[in-house]
Structure 1
């Protein structure tokens, strides 16, 4: 269907009224398309699930499910469906209930063409406006700019925690309009003494905001610092032009702590992390800054403490221990989501880091052990066959150690991770098939249950209805309601042709509380009533 048109589903148990409404308007010129019509609420709900109409126009008084109940269920199905109710009942209670169900319009029969056109035009204009707002580039840009500070802060947090690989950092910085040209970076944690915050009697978060504002005002502009409040501390990501500026930066932060105590009456410790020359090392600097703060018990608070002064020998060790884990986690993530190109890029970043890290042999072995541990953990959690992944019973660790370069390790890792991706894909397909098969078996065992529905079976399988509906239709080619109806009708035919039960008894046995509705569905399915169907089949024999 044309994406610029809106689809309409008409619902009334009087077919003559449906035909009249369809002829009253030039639907095409109004930008609307009739995609179907139903004779009752149950049928309409089934069609809505499959056809997803934009507008549903329904009568109130109908068999099996009335229009108000249909309205409620349609809104549960999708909040975006617009419902127009038309009825011969000019009663306040009906109108009030329609409003409660969030129906867009309430019309009284008989409806003339002018009134009907006006109603549909109003609903269409409302849909047009909603669609325009969603597509309005300027509004989207405005919303984006309003959200930018929050997005930037989220990126800073991810950067501090090492949750972004080098290939992603600059992409996100460009998207979120962040410039950090460096060339040197240092993370500082401004930690507030909990005792002095309590003495002030101020809310800790408000105090942190006060200190952040003061720090933004007082720190030298040449440090080009970015500020955020994270886990109760104020975090500074600062940029230095030269290594030699580190001493001056430390002195500046020391002055900030002393002045902050006088002006704000709160004791501040500035933990200064290691100086680094690329953004990938920001997590290392952040870890160092937190470690520096912990030294306040030895050196006192209300001052700046640089980790490079108190733990100068720890720097190299931190660089290699903390850096590689984010690369490994990124590789596992790409395996999990099935991104082949993304996987190769993640592996290339990891082996590139490995080539330039200047690790000792002992450190190199630790990295390989952690890498293999993550791979084994992934294989175990997905219950995969180890030999199918690695290709032989040879000791994997020994084999990896025998690889002569980071490039050789990368080639081996690409091969293994592709095997993992294939195995996970097959596992998911098998899981999906088992999942749908369980649903089918449940239908076969419980089709006689009159309360059997998507909600019931989803609760049984412990999945969301949206996920279940998507997977079930993909595997069977039918919606769940359609599948259930078809199966019930097959069982009804079997009972009809092999026994002497009355129609109402067969209806009850296949899950229909209303014999009349059962007959209606049967006739719709086979083109004739149950009694005539049986008579015709017996005659053919």
Structure 2
């Protein structure tokens, strides 16, 4: 059985986790408990748990910092955050730190069971080659690291309500999985599907909505996922979940705020090539205060206006590099950068490759030897 550590500063919750939940039927047992981060570090050193359920808000050392410290000495430990916070920023930090999942209090036994099943699959698969290791070197450059890079791209496109971009990203990932010849019914295949479901759930929670209202109960979702006969069917199913989440969110947005957000997006998309484009300029064009526009963007998309301008510029630069030959300086100027070196730096930060490397990579794909 896999060993579990419970870390929470509420004694009643630790008692609930210890006595009311069926760990053994899932292949786990509780090896230790801790009321704060300091105690957790000591218990982890002594007991070497395979899985840690960690509360985020704790005295001395919070859950995020604790996870960083645990990963330094035990990098393979699986972490699930258990928290009452619904802000997606916590979930994003959890992903960055290597957390596998999170549960929002109060959770039910179905959610608990589903999470344990996901974790157990990961622990069972630990000795097998990773997703990245299975991809040929030239393909690995295209995919990046699934748990973070892909999530960042998909979350951003979901926030922007750009379903075409979501479909494009999903199709790219599906192509790589298909070439790896992974069965959709295998544990690894199901793990990838769960990763996309988890990401969609995080987006829904970020939008302050209830996932069950968007797509039904977790048990129903599990049944649908397990019944998928092929990757082609799975692609359509995942895309539909994402589309449903976006459409459901929009139906709950205040009209004035959303209208301003939409108008600002349209203005930026029309004027991104202007190197003098600023938040103040966008706000002035729409006859609103710049600080109010910033608040609207944060509310509607959890992104700054500046980051959205950069996002649009990088998206257009990528399209140019993929479709027509052009000098780096010309590409930079066309998407609003006077300095080609700064443009190249921004592009690499966004895509992991310089514009020249990106262009060469796709040229090689189009003309294999």
Q: TM-score, normalised by structure 1?
A: 0.23
Higher relative contact order (CA 8 A, sep 6+): 2
Bigger Rg over Cα: 1
